[in-house]
Amino acid sequence: MPTQSSAMWGQKSNRKLIIGIFGFSLGLFGILCGMFWEDLFNWIMHKEMALAPDTRVYENWKSPPLELNLDIYLYNWTNPEEFGNLSTKPILEQVGPYRFNERPDKVDIDWHPENASVSYRRRSFFYFDEEGSNGSLDDEIITLNAVALSAAATAKHWPSVKRAMVDVGLKVYGPEMSVRKKIDELLFTGYNDVMIDVAMAMPIFGDEVKVPFDKFGWFYTRNGSADLTGVFNVFTGADDLAKLGQMHTWNYQENTGFFESFCGMTNGSAGEFQPQHLKPGGSVGLFTPDMCRTIPLDYVETVDVEGLKGYKFAGGPRSVDNGTLYPENLCYCGGQCAPSGVMNISACRFGSPVFMSYPHFYNGDRFFVDQVEGLQPKQEDHEFYMVVEPNTGIPLEVAARFQVNMLVEPIEGIALYKDVPRIFFPLIWFEQKVRITPEMADQLKVLPIVLLSGQIFAGVCLAIGLVLLCWAPVEHMLSWCRSRRYDLKTPTKKNGEHKSRSHYSSAEELKSKASTLVCEKSTSGTPDSSPLLSRRQKATIVPASMCKSQTGDSVATASTSVSDNKQE
């Protein structure tokens, strides 16, 4: 039958075994957690960020909660009467900004799970912000007659007979090189023009003349319309989060048809998302439906936005080059190559000689700035840039800035443009600047903290598991060392008459040995030699047979015998 000490030893052994198993399990969990935590984190991110009606990003994607402002600047032409004088440059005076609050939305949303994409249209409502504007919508300016110029440029490559008909129309209705209009008419309201009315009423030119609007205005029909920018089809990221928000088709086509080769490809971002896990030195693309092409933005620097690290991508010389600096951009010429600094989008704008650039021809050839007076390109005011959070691809700050220019040049057979200089004439530029709110930035700050916390948690689990796993062996080693040190300090007789307490296997053996020693001392002592007896007392000799028969209470019996002798 096991003794009490044996039971205690068994309990301690079981406890050590349990601690060891728990430590092993915890350490294994820490290793697995460290290995797969990032994959688990990315899986959760995939579920939350992929576009779907039930995901967190859907509402922010459909109707952005950020405050969007559209600031519009126009150029007042102060010396139009001297335009025919080749020795005098057009003098321009910038007016504005005229600020409009934009409320964007996405409509006609149609999901395509077969290729993980979604189709939609954009619709925005614009509200004039008088307090944020520098001027009134009733302000009047003198600007280039864009309608007459578009009509003349369209007839430039026509047969002489048809071109003569356009020339007669311009002479009959007497349009001038410039027009005086209110800001409101030039922007959203639009204004009537006789040339537009005639072209719509007398379709004698067939399909060669396309009149898309009954009025002219730079943003005419844009307010509240969902048809102007076309149908977008972007990837939802459901199958691959790296494709989230990237263009698949525009107006149901993978090629816009307005540029040759890869320049006409529908690619890049639709604006809301950029590729994830960006690296310094790369580039991103932004598809702009108003220009029917993708604008490349190159990495510039790493900046801080609301406490978040972001990569700044800006529109450099490459984005506005026509093959002069970058031969691969030759396909963007559109049949009319110009020095680096402007983008020919005439084909996208119904044949009108429209060339886009950055405001004040920023990052363009000095040739454009020197054609007119009143332009001062500055990086802080005219740079197009986008700051992107590199891990999620979410834009943190965007400053979208473009300028609309029209090419004025001599046109044979058109009297109004017979003796004019060749000038890329600036007309209007606009910017839309938006920055992430502190509340949204705080939400993005949590993501790397969660990733780091998981890795720290895995390390802590591994460390605790190793400690628990090594606890029992270390404790056993320390116990053995303490026992060994005690044995070295305790003397041992050569004849083996007694040994240290650590040499006895149990308490019973130790007690038995103690009783034997008492008996031996009693039998070997004499009355005269014992210091415990006086001379008058007689020693009582305990028989050897009694000592042999004694058990666990032998010591007590011997003590009682000695006490009786004292009484006698």
pLDDT above 80 for 331: yes
In order, the DSSP letters of 30-76 are HHHHHHHHHHHHHHHHHHHHS--TTSTHHHHHHS--S-EEEEEEEEE
More confident residue, 85 or 404: 404
If DSSP states are collapsed to H, E and C, what string results for 495-507?
CCCCCCHHHCCCH
Q: Which helix (H) or strand (E) holds 126?
A: strand 117-129
More confident residue, 174 or 336: 336
First-to-last CA distance in the chain? 45
Percent of the chain with pLDDT strictly greater than 90 = 38
Instruction: State the pLDDT at residue 209.
Output: 64
pLDDT tens, 72-84?
A: 999 999 999 988 7
Instruction: State the pLDDT at residue 313.
Output: 95
Instruction: State the pLDDT at residue 535.
Output: 42
User: d(Cα 273, Cα 267) in Å, to the nearest integer?
Assistant: 13
pLDDT above 60 for 518: no
Which range is most confident: 248-252, 261-265, 331-335, 416-420? 248-252
The whole-chain average pLDDT of the chain stands at 79
Among 108-112, 347-351, 387-391, 396-400, name the one with the lowest average pLDDT: 347-351
Among 88-92, 106-110, 216-220, 457-461, name the one with the lowest average pLDDT: 457-461
Average pLDDT over residues 109-127: 94
Backbone angles phi, psi at 469, to 5 degrees: -65, -35
Among 55-69, 161-175, 189-203, 510-524, name the one with the lowest average pLDDT: 510-524
User: d(Cα 22, Cα 464) in Å, to the nearest integer?
Assistant: 10
pLDDT above 90 for 99: yes
Written as one letter, the residue type at 112 is H
Region label for 335, one of left (φ > 0), alpha (ψ between -120 and 50) or beta (otherwise)? left
Residue 23's pLDDT band, with cuts at 50, 70 and 90, is low
pLDDT above 80 for 263: yes
Residue 234's pLDDT band, with cuts at 50, 70 and 90, is very high
pLDDT above 60 for 511: no
Question: Hey, what's the torsion of the CAs at 438, 440, 441, 444, to 10 degrees?
Answer: 160
pLDDT above 60 for 506: no
Instruction: State the pLDDT at residue 97.
Output: 96
Name the DSSP class of 216.
B
Tally of CB atoms within 10 A around 400: 18
Q: Copy the structure tokens of residue 191.
A: 């204004």
pLDDT above 50 for 505: no
pLDDT above 90 for 361: yes
Residue 70's pLDDT band, with cuts at 50, 70 and 90, is very high
pLDDT above 80 for 12: no
CA 319 vs. chain centroid, Å, equals 23
- Across 130-151, b (16+ Cβ under 10 Å) vs e yields eeebeeebebebbbbbbbbbbb
More confident residue, 140 or 483: 140
Average pLDDT over residues 503-527: 48
Please check whether residue 354 is in contact with residue 325, taking contact to mean a CB–CB distance below 8 angstroms. no
User: d(Cα 90, Cα 369) in Å, to the nearest integer?
Assistant: 11
Tally of CB atoms within 10 A around 448: 13
pLDDT tens, 130-163?
A: 999 999 999 999 999 999 898 888 888 888 888 8
Residue 485's pLDDT band, with cuts at 50, 70 and 90, is low
pLDDT above 90 for 85: no
Instruction: State the pLDDT at residue 477.
Output: 73
Instruction: State the pLDDT at residue 184.
Output: 95
- CB within 8 A of 201, min separation 6: which ones? none
Instruction: State the pLDDT at residue 179.
Output: 93
Q: Copy the structure tokens of residue 99.
A: 């600020």
Instruction: State the pLDDT at residue 533.
Output: 41
Single pTM value for the model: 0.75
Which range is most confident: 116-130, 469-483, 498-512, 537-551? 116-130
User: d(Cα 208, Cα 205) in Å, to the nearest integer?
Assistant: 6
Please write down the long-range contacts of 283-287, taking CB distance under 8 Å and 24 or more positions apart: 283/313, 284/313, 284/386, 284/388, 286/386, 287/247, 287/250
Among 9-23, 127-141, 357-371, 551-565, name the one with the lowest average pLDDT: 551-565
User: d(Cα 430, Cα 98) in Å, to the nearest integer?
Assistant: 9
Average pLDDT over residues 372-383: 94
Average pLDDT over residues 78-91: 88
Partner residues linked to 385 by β-bridges: 314, 399
Average pLDDT over residues 421-425: 93
Instruction: State the pLDDT at residue 452.
Output: 61
Instruction: State the pLDDT at residue 469.
Output: 66
Q: Tokens 């405050």 map to which residue? A: 67
Instruction: State the pLDDT at residue 365.
Output: 92
**Quick check: helix, strand or coil at residue 334?**
coil
Residue 119's pLDDT band, with cuts at 50, 70 and 90, is very high
Average pLDDT over residues 434-457: 75
pLDDT above 80 for 126: yes
**Quick check: helix, strand or coil at residue 293?**
strand
User: d(Cα 463, Cα 27) in Å, to the nearest integer?
Assistant: 7
> Count of residues for the chain?
568
**Quick check: helix, strand or coil at residue 18?**
helix
User: d(Cα 154, Cα 156) in Å, to the nearest integer?
Assistant: 6
**Quick check: helix, strand or coil at residue 110?**
strand
Residue 555's pLDDT band, with cuts at 50, 70 and 90, is very low
pLDDT above 90 for 67: no
| Burial group, residue 77, by CB count within 10 angstroms (0-12, 13-18, 19+) | buried
